[in-house]
């Protein structure tokens, strides 16, 4: 067994950094408010790192990961490490590196305040924060590096090396992690026309070399180089650059583990396998079907790290299935195998330990970051045990390193050809063994009984999830089976609907509206927190939310907006709020996941068929409408966004889950309509980020995703105006599909890409009405009227004026009231100027 355990190593690509109780969030916000200094913030960082490394070691992992911590974002860390901070932040002598870092992440306003984050705001004094965009298909936002022909690189920050030393001083075996040079360049954006950022590679590689030299000098055993772009459609020049780049980096002589995740490698399998590195990590969940070819192609002297535990979702691993997958690979790799999570655990919550309110059955189906560490340790122990039982020494396993023989196992290995598991192991008989659920820790090698009990507990949980009556709801299945083929079509085409809606609402030209949320003030949040703690009765909580709604409606009337919103005071989050009210969803108490900087979200868990037991938004909306004679816009989150920002069941296609959510939203639309609401917005900001990494699969996704939206909206009468809203992404490459969603009005974020996006909409001749965001809500800066008039004039040049709406880029929940009111006042004035002209 010792021989096998020595050859099986466990590690993770990264760990959540915000802390079990969001300690980092609170420390950051205190620091930004000026309540604590840098030393105290640094101390929080060091405490969290130490705790998280201890977690990894105590769970039994062989290596702890260093370099995954960041005070704001891991890409921003690399911008500082590699010395390519844009010069515009007015850095000055004596300014600390951390202050420079936050300036870059949050912007520096000329008027003495920091911006919350990116966006092309404050262009006139050019100190706006770096843009933020989605990290691949996750709900995490990274800061976008900026590149131009003048960009220079240098080893400019000691932080990574200090963290390595910190971990070593604590006695850990360290694997450092870096974003690889190709992925770093790919994620950046060119700030000069006609410039190709790949041309910077020659300048960048020596700096990576210097970083690796330093890590080597520190005695780091392994460096994980994250290159997830190997799972994308790469232009040939980028593929070629991997060969030259890694040849150069390999010269340093520190073992490199090339890490890919989120997507299969496909045509890049052979490239990834032959690069001159010491090991390759692959996503064993999303690229499970490639495990055999990678196992076959990867030269025998290299380490294969299989990301067998899902780092993107929260389901407990089916350990039997995982072992069945691993055993043949293990045999082919001569017993030398690394086990890991598919990707960094940044994307899952910290631990299930505090989830006392979660239904115990559902809870038993889940594994968050801490539990996933235990799963890895368990898989290692099981694999070593089975291998030891099957053969006394690794030499008895296959030495075969060529293409698969089909069985995946060497003759004489003594493993069942059906399951890949040793006969009598108890793994393949499906019986749930009694015993503790405690998974093995590092303190002692788990004895056979403990291992068997832990495996049995895992098996029982997976079996309970498969068989549970709460997962399948026959009424939902019946409704989907009976869904009319034209359920995704409105009764009439857009021109007829537009006429009916204009007759009903009688809005002026350039109608003004907002995207839905108004400031989520500290008093709103603390009222909700008190209510959740049981200290504020439901009636008092509801009364205070009604007062907030009345306040927001009053302000909007006073500002002269045309289409009002209730302001979303009662919503903790635009997805979680709906998840809490839908059947088939579970929600957590502490299941926070970092979204950007200090901001977190708590994604709900979709574990079963989705249905809507009762109306979710009607009372609040009707109350808001009762306060005004102006149209009140109902506010819903769309099916694709609810799907994308939740943890989704993996036992049926995502398309099916999206359709179930769509039917629930469809019923809400019908209820709002019946209650007299004539304008309903169905937000779909996450449509773009749901696109599969490979373009070849876009079509299939866009078909079901846009249909889900149309099903949600499809029952609305012609005179009911359906809006949708999108933000946080570039949309120009999916304009036909956005148009096919057939919303009557789309409000869309435009300020980050200036009016580039609108040019796309204009060129495409987007057929319905559009509200291009006329100001960036991510900054407290108040844009003046002239600036917004200018943007609207530019918009009118490409889109017929009769199609245009006037609104901010996105919701105002992260803003304060003073800047919100001033900005909206200027926005209404801008619309009036255009009308007058
Ligand atoms: C539009 N965006 C969203 C994304 N994903 C979502 N699921 N939701 C989104 O809105 N992805 C893309 C963008 C990302 N943008 C943001 C913007 C803002 C936040 C944010 O502000 N997050 C808050 C948490 C919001 C929340 O859920 N609040 C709850 C609980 C609040 C809380 O922590 N309460 C404390 C006590 C507070 C007190 O005053 O006593 C507690 O419970 O301990 C609520 O309002 O009830 C954040 O703070 O990070 C996220 C993404
Ligand atoms: N209605 C939501 C959309 C955010 S993308 C809001 O206004 O916050
Ligand atoms: Zn938005």
Ligand 2 within 6 A of CB of 683: yes
CA–CA dist 673, 376 (Å, integer): 51
| Per-residue tokens: 357 | 């309110």
Give the pLDDT of residue 417.
29
Give the pLDDT of residue 386.
81
Other beta carbons within 10 angstroms of residue 140's beta carbon come to 18
Those residues with Cβ within 8 angstroms of residue 420's Cβ, 6 or more apart along the chain or in another chain: 323, 324, 325, 327, 328, 408, 409
Residue ranges of the binding site for Zn(2+): 725, 727, 749, 810
Cα–chain center distance at 562: 34
Give the pLDDT of residue 6.
64
Q: What is the DSSP letter of 328?
A: H
Ligand 2 within 6 A of CB of 55: no
CA–CA dist 610, 659 (Å, integer): 9
Give the pLDDT of residue 109.
65
- Which atom of ligand 2 is nearest the CA belonging to 726? 5
| Per-residue tokens: 275 | 């690069």
Q: What is the DSSP letter of 778?
A: T
Those residues with Cβ within 8 angstroms of residue 645's Cβ, 6 or more apart along the chain or in another chain: 139, 575, 601, 603, 686
Q: What is the 3-class SS of 479-493, one letter each residue? A: HHHCCCCCCCCCCCC
ipTM metric: 0.96
| 3-class DSSP assignment, residue 584 | strand
Residue located nearest, by CA, to atom 4 of ligand 2: 811
Ligand 2 within 6 A of CB of 254: no
Other beta carbons within 10 angstroms of residue 555's beta carbon come to 17
Residue found under tokens 């004039």: 793
Ligand 2 within 6 A of CB of 810: yes
- Which atom of ligand 1 is nearest the CA belonging to 522? 39
Give the pLDDT of residue 756.
72
Ligand 1 within 6 A of CB of 531: no
Q: Are strands 141-143 and 132-134 parallel, antiparallel or unpaired?
A: antiparallel
496-836: CATH number: 3.20.20.210
Query: Rounded to 5, what percent of the chain is helix, strand, coil?
Result: 45, 15, 45
CA–CA dist 458, 282 (Å, integer): 24
- Which atom of ligand 2 is nearest the CA belonging to 514? 7
Q: Which of 310, 309, 344, 348 is nearest to 70 (CA)?
A: 344
| CA of 806 relative to ligand 3 center, distance in Å | 15
| CA of 749 relative to ligand 3 center, distance in Å | 7
Ligand number nearest to the C-alpha of 773: 3
CA–CA dist 127, 750 (Å, integer): 19
CA–CA dist 178, 80 (Å, integer): 13
- Which atom of ligand 1 is nearest the CA belonging to 602? 27
Ligand 2 within 6 A of CB of 813: yes
| CA of 432 relative to ligand 3 center, distance in Å | 47
Give the pLDDT of residue 422.
41
Ligand 2 within 6 A of CB of 727: yes
Cα–chain center distance at 803: 33
2-86+130-467: CATH number: 3.20.20.210
Give the pLDDT of residue 107.
81
CA–CA dist 528, 770 (Å, integer): 35
User: Which one of 569, 572, 573, 752 would you pick to mutate in the ligand 1 pocket, going by the greatest count of ligand atoms within 8 A of its CB?
Assistant: 573
Report domain extents, the chain: 2-86+130-467, 87-129, 496-836
| CA of 818 relative to ligand 3 center, distance in Å | 20
Residue located nearest, by CA, to atom 21 of ligand 1: 599
Residue located nearest, by CA, to atom 3 of ligand 2: 811
Other beta carbons within 10 angstroms of residue 656's beta carbon come to 16
Q: What is the DSSP letter of 680?
A: E
| CA of 599 relative to ligand 1 center, distance in Å | 7
Those residues with Cβ within 8 angstroms of residue 468's Cβ, 6 or more apart along the chain or in another chain: 361, 608
Ligand 1 within 6 A of CB of 766: no
Ligand 2 within 6 A of CB of 808: no
In the chain, which stretches have pLDDT less than 50? 1-2, 111-113, 117-126, 392-444
Ligand 1 within 6 A of CB of 601: yes
Residue ranges of the binding site for 5-methyltetrahydropteroyltri-L-glutamate: 22-25, 134, 599-600, 645, 689
CA–CA dist 616, 77 (Å, integer): 42
Q: Which of 100, 33, 34 is nearest to 72 (CA)?
A: 100
| CA of 626 relative to ligand 1 center, distance in Å | 28
Structure confidence by residue, pLDDT tens digits, 494-511: 999 999 999 999 999 999
Give the pLDDT of residue 430.
31
Helix (H) or strand (E) holding 309: strand 303-309
- Which atom of ligand 2 is nearest the CA belonging to 813? 8
Instruction: Catalogue the active-site residues.
Output: 778
Q: Are 385 and 176 within 8 A, CB to CB?
A: no
Residue located nearest, by CA, to atom 8 of ligand 2: 811
Residue located nearest, by CA, to atom 31 of ligand 1: 525
| 3-class DSSP assignment, residue 439 | coil
| Per-residue tokens: 706 | 């846009």
Give the pLDDT of residue 728.
74
Structure confidence by residue, pLDDT tens digits, 315-344: 999 999 999 999 999 999 987 899 999 999
Other beta carbons within 10 angstroms of residue 802's beta carbon come to 11
Q: Are 516 and 681 within 8 A, CB to CB?
A: yes
| Per-residue tokens: 253 | 């002589």
Residue located nearest, by CA, to atom 6 of ligand 2: 811
- Which atom of ligand 1 is nearest the CA belonging to 524? 45
| CA of 602 relative to ligand 1 center, distance in Å | 8
| CA of 205 relative to ligand 3 center, distance in Å | 38
pTM over 0.90: yes
| 2-86+130-467 against 496-836: fold identical | yes
């Amino acid at each position: 067994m010792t021989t096998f355990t020595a050859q099986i190593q466990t590690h993770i690509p990264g760990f959540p950094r915000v802390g079990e109780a969001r300690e980092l969030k609170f420390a950051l916000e205190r620091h930004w408010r000026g309540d604590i200094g840098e030393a105290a913030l640094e101390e929080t960082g060091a405490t969290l790192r130490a705790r998280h490394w201890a977690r990894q070691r105590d769970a039994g992992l062989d290596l702890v990961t260093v370099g995954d911590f960041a005070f704001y974002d891991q890409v921003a860390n690399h911008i500082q490490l590699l010395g390519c901070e844009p010069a515009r932040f007015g850095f000055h002598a004596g300014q600390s590196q951390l202050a420079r870092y936050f300036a870059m992440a949050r912007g520096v306003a000329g008027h003495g305040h920091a911006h919350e984050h990116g966006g092309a705001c404050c262009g006139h004094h050019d100190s706006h924060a770096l843009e933020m965009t989605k990290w691949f298909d996750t709900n995490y936002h990274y800061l976008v590096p900026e590149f131009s022909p003048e960009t220079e690189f240098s080893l400019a920050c000691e932080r990574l090396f200090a963290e390595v030393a910190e971990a070593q001083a604590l006695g850990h075996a360290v694997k450092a992690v870096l974003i690889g040079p190709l992925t770093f360049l790919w994620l950046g954006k060119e700030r000069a026309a006609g410039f190709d950022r790949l041309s910077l590679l020659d300048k960048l590689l020596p700096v990576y070399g210097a970083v690796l030299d330093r890590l080597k000098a520190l005695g780091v055993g392994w460096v994980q180089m994250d290159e997830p772009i190997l799972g994308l459609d790469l232009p040939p020049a980028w593929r070629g650059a991997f060969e030259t780049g890694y040849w150069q980096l390999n010269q340093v002589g520190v073992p490199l583990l090339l890490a890919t995740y989120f997507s299969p490698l496909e045509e890049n399998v052979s490239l990834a396998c032959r690069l001159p590195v010491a090991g390759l990590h692959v996503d064993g969940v999303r690229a499970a079907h490639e495990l055999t070819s990678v196992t076959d192609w990867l030269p025998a002297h290299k380490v294969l790290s299989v990301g067998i535990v899902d780092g993107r979702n929260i389901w407990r691993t089916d350990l039997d299935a995982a072992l069945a997958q691993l055993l043949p690979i293990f045999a082919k790799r001569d017993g030398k195998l690394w086990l890991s999570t598919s990707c960094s655990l940044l994307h899952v919550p910290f631990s299930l330990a505090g989830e006392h309110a979660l239904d115990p059955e559902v809870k038993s189906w889940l594994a968050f970051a801490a539990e996933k560490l235990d799963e890895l340790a368990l898989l290692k122990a099981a694999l070593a045990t089975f291998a030891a039982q099957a053969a006394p020494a690794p030499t008895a396993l296959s030495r075969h390193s060529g293409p698969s023989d089909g069985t995946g196992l060497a003759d004489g290995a003594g493993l069942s050809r059906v399951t890949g598991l040793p006969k009598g192991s108890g793994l393949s008989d499906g019986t749930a063994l009694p015993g503790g659920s405690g998974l093995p820790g590092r303190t002692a090698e788990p004895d056979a009984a403990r291992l068997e009990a832990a495996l049995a507990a895992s098996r029982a949980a997976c079996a309970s999830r498969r068989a549970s009556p709460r997962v399948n709801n026959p009424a939902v299945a019946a409704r989907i089976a009976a869904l009319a083929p034209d359920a995704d079509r409105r009764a009439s085409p857009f021109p007829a609907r537009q006429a009916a809606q204009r007759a009903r609402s009688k809005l002026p030209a350039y109608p003004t509206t907002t995207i839905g949320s108004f400031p989520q003030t500290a008093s709103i949040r603390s009222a909700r927190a008190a209510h959740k703690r049981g200290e504020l009765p439901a009636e008092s909580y509801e009364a205070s939310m009604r007062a907030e709604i009345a306040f927001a409606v009053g302000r909007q009337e006073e500002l002269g907006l045309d289409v009002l919103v209730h302001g979303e005071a009662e919503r903790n989050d635009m997805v979680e709020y709906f998840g809490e009210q839908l059947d088939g969803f579970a929600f957590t108490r502490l299941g926070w996941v970092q979204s950007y900087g200090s901001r977190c979200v708590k994604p709900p868990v979709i574990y079963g068929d989705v249905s809507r037991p009762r109306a979710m938004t009607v009372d609040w909306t009707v109350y808001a409408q009762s306060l005004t004679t102006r149209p009140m816009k109902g506010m819903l989150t769309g099916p694709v966004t609810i799907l994308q920002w939740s943890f989704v069941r993996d036992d049926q296609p995502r398309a099916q889950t999206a359709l179930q959510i769509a039917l629930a939203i469809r019923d809400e639309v019908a209820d709002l309509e019946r209650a007299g609401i004539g304008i309903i917005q169905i937000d779909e900001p996450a449509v773009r980020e749901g696109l599969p990494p490979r373009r070849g699969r876009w079509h299939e996704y866009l078909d079901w995703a846009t249909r889900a939206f149309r099903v949600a909206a499809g029952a609305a009468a012609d005179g009911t105006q359906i809006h949708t809203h999108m933000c946080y992404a570039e949309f120009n490459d999916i304009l036909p599909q956005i148009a096919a969603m057939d919303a009557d009005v789309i409000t869309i974020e435009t300020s980050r890409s200036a009016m580039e996006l609108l040019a796309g909409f204009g060129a495409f001749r987007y057929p319905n009405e559009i509200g291009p965001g006329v100001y960036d809500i991510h900054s407290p800066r108040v844009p003046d009227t002239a600036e917004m008039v200018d943007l609207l004039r530019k918009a009118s040049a490409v889109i017929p004026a009769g199609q245009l709406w006037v609104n901010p880029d996105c919701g105002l929940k992260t803003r304060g009231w003073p800047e919100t009111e001033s900005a909206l006042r200027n926005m209404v004035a801008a619309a009036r100027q255009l009308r007058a002209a």
